[in-house]
Amino acid sequence: MSAFQPAIAIHGGAGNLARYAGTGRIEEAETFLSTLIDHLHAMLVKGASAVDAVTDAVVQLEDAGLFHAGKGSSPGSKGYVELDASIMEGRFGEAGAIAMVRNVKNPIQLARVIMDRTPLVMLAGPEAEELAAEHGLPLVGPDYFVPCTQVGAAISDEQDSRRGTVGAVARDARGTFAAATSTGGVLNKIAGRIGDAPIIGAGTFARNGVGAVSCTGVGEYFIRQAAAYQVIARMELLGESVGAAAGTVMQRINDDHGNGGIIALGPRGEVAMPFNTTGMYRAAIDAWGKRTVGVL
């Protein structure tokens, strides 16, 4: 019997997803998320670490081509994709992040290399790409990326096609928390623009004994609210439940006229997944085995 029951939550971005009702795209995403969440939970039950579970989750979400991250990323203002990602483990507060990489198939694996194999927390641009090559990570050319707005039913919707991210939060059987986030950012973003996804404390945070958080939405609002850390701090310092903490931060972003969503785990493996858009691709299994899969 494990000391802790595992818990896991994943997201594939928040947006005006109600536009996809009736196109088959919501069902396609739900089927994908449903299979993935069961696989990740089984990994954790078998003893996988939280950081391996969130890495695997994000790799699969990046490869799916259904979300604006990894394969599904959209090009920015200069016609090429720039990818951002970050990962954090809650035991010692170790973290890794990368920004503005163009040719790395799985940005989250490069963030993991930064965390595990270097003394750095964040590396950007060509030097980050060189590190990926040095560590033998798969590299891809521009043709690899198929913006997810082109996959399946073609729906042109400015709000929805502008952004997207994937992320995961987990607690393993040893009680360690981890969080990971990866994004192609926003469509037509100005080259060099960096959102919240690779910023520890904005898009991603994990702390043992407290919880783990991954955010999605218009990154500038999440950076200004220190959103991921604020959820953790509200639980740790104010004693708020994960639902209250994540809900308050989402409300503050809403009050600022920002939008998006948050997935978060609380200290006992409780799950909260608030969003203020018409949908967020999401799935979770909490510490009591309660399973949630949803889009709208």
Closest CB to ligand ASP among residues 6, 184: 184
* Interface of this chain with ligand ASP, residues 205 to 234, rule: CB under 6 A: 216-219
165 is catalytic: yes
Residue carrying the six token digits 């949908």? 279
| Cβ proximity of 10 and 61 under 8 Å | yes
Secondary structure of residue 256 in the 3-state scheme: coil
Alpha helices in the chain (DSSP H): 25-45, 50-64, 107-117, 125-134, 158-161, 219-224, 227-238, 242-255
End-to-end Cα separation, the chain, in angstroms: 36
Smallest distance from ligand ASP to CB 111, Å: 14
Binding mask 165-184 for ligand ASP (x = CB under 6 A): x-----------------x-
Q: Is 186 in the site for ligand ASP (CB under 6 A)?
A: yes
Distance in Å, CB of 46 to ligand ASP, minimum:
31
Nearer to ligand ASP, 218 or 293 (CB): 218
Strand-pairing partners, residue 206, are 212
Residue 283's beta-bridge partner residues?
Answer: 10, 293
Q: Which of 10, 138, 13 is nearest to 72 (CA)?
A: 13
The minimum distance between CB 68 and ligand ASP, in angstroms, equals: 6
CB of 185 to ligand ASP, least distance (A): 4
Residue from 165, 176, 183, 277 carrying the catalytic annotation:
165
Helices 107-117 & 125-134 angle (0-180, nearest 10):
80
- The secondary structure of 144-172 as a DSSP string is G---GGGSSS----HHHHT--EEEEEEE-
Asked if 185 touches ligand ASP (CB under 6 A), the answer is yes
Coil, strand or helix at 52: helix
**Rule CB under 6 A: is residue 196 a binding residue for ligand ASP?**
yes
By CB under 6 A, tell whether 147 contacts ligand ASP.
no
In angstroms, the CA 59 to CA 105 distance is 9
Residues numbered 245-284 forming contacts with ligand ASP, rule: CB under 6 A = 260
CB within 8 A of 26, min separation 6: which ones?
17, 20, 279, 295, 296
Q: Is 198 in the site for ligand ASP (CB under 6 A)?
A: no
Q: Tokens for 33?
A: 């998320």
Tell me which of 19, 41, 112, 163 binds ligand ASP, using CB under 6 A.
163
Stretch that binds ligand ASP, among 55-63, 111-119, 143-151, 157-165 (CB under 6 A): 157-165
In the list 9, 10, 12, 13, the residue contacting ligand ASP (rule: CB under 6 A) is: 13
Which CB, 111 or 218, lies closer to ligand ASP? 218
- Interface pattern 91-130 for ligand ASP (x via CB under 6 A): ----------------------------------------
Q: Give me the phi and psi of 169, to 5 degrees please.
A: -135, 145
CB 91 to ligand ASP: min, Å: 26
Please state the closest distance from residue 83 (CB atom) to ligand ASP, in A.
10
Active site residues: 165
Q: Which residues of the chain form contacts with ligand ASP (CB under 6 A)? A: 13, 163-165, 183, 185-186, 195-197, 216-219, 260
